[in-house]
């Protein structure tokens, strides 16, 4: 289906279930937003500039600023963009669940809207999938060869990420340098076959560790990260770090 023929620019999605939409495009880029009016237009323009043919961008907006108006204003110019108003936003994981319900791509890529992760590097994650070397690819900020620009990874967050990634590696038996990667890509079959339950920021860890546990091929690729280009992070290092560590334990024990 050519992008120009996709009619719906605003989609209403209910409570999360496993994805039921048909695969009609090559790739769906899922962009979750929470009050990202300062960066969302630049983010989407940069994504569309490097978007493969026959792909779509699914924007899930759970905030209360001007993000929705900005996204809707871009739909006429870029028919690849689809806007979802997520009124009952319950966290990043919930927003991604909503995006998964609407996504129609054979390959899925999730990227944060604050431009800490570069849309121009999406191809680095897609290439191993298209070459059949992986089923899920994490864009790692800490793998050898990664570039961390000033302000992109404050020391306390880097340490917290190292602790969580080390714990995930210990529990699931596969080295992951950045289990909380904010840019990741995977085959549609991965999220069709594993059961995602988390509605919070623990989603970032849940997807790769459950993929590993299910026998999917999960790899890291080194990427570039930049300082946040707008908005304010909702992540609290200590509070959310403790929650993620607990959730990882639950994933390992099959409690979630």
pLDDT band at 231 (very low <50, low <70, confident <90, very high): low
Q: Please compute, for residue 106, the number of CA atoms within 13 A of its CA located in the half-sphere on the CB side.
A: 10
Joined tokens for residue 35: 């009050």
Q: What is the pTM of this model?
A: 0.88
Q: What is the pLDDT of residues 54-82, one digit of tens each?
A: 999 999 999 999 999 999 999 999 999 99
Question: Does 186 score more than 60 pLDDT?
Answer: yes
In this structure, the strands spanning 55-61 and 105-112 are unpaired
Give the pLDDT band (50/70/90) at residue 53: confident
CA separation for the pair 240, 246 (Å, rounded) = 10
Contacting residues for 173 by C-beta, under 8 A, at least 6 apart: 212
What's the pLDDT band for 234 if we cut at 50, 70, 90? Answer: low
Name the region of 60 (left: φ>0; alpha: ψ -120 to 50; beta: rest). beta
Q: What is the CATH number of the domain that holds 13?
A: 3.90.550.10
Q: What's the number of domains the chain is made of?
A: 1
Non-local CB neighbours of 161 within 8 Å, separated by 6+ positions:
141, 142, 153, 178, 179, 180
Tell me which residue range forms the domain holding 150.
3-253
């Amino acid at each position: 289906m050519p992008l120009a023929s996709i009619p719906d620019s605003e989609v209403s999605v209910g409570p999360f279930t496993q994805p039921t939409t048909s695969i009609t495009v090559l790739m769906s880029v899922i962009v979750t937003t929470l009050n990202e009016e300062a960066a969302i237009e630049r983010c989407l323009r940069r994504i569309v500039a490097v978007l493969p043919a026959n792909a779509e961008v699914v924007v899930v907006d759970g905030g209360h600023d001007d993000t929705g108006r900005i996204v809707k204003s871009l739909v006429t110019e870029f028919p690849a963009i689809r806007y979802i108003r997520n009124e009952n936003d319950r966290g990043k994981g919930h927003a991604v669940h909503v995006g998964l319900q609407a996504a129609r791509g054979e390959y899925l890529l999730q990227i944060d809207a604050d431009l800490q992760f570069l849309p121009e590097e999406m191809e680095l994650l897609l290439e191993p999938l298209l070459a059949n070397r992986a089923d899920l690819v994490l864009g790692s900020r800490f793998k050898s060869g990664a570039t961390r620009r000033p302000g992109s990874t404050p020391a306390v967050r880097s340490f917290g990420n190292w602790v969580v990634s080390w714990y995930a590696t210990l529990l699931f038996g596969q080295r992951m340098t950045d289990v909380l990667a904010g840019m990741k890509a995977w085959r549609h079959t991965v999220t069709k076959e594993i059961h995602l339950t988390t509605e919070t920021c623990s989603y970032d860890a849940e997807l790769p560790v459950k993929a590993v546990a299910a026998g999917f091929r999960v790899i890291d690729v080194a990427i570039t990260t930049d300082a946040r280009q707008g908005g304010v992070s909702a992540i609290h290092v200590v509070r959310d770090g403790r929650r993620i560590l607990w959730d990882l334990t639950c994933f390992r024990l099959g409690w979630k």
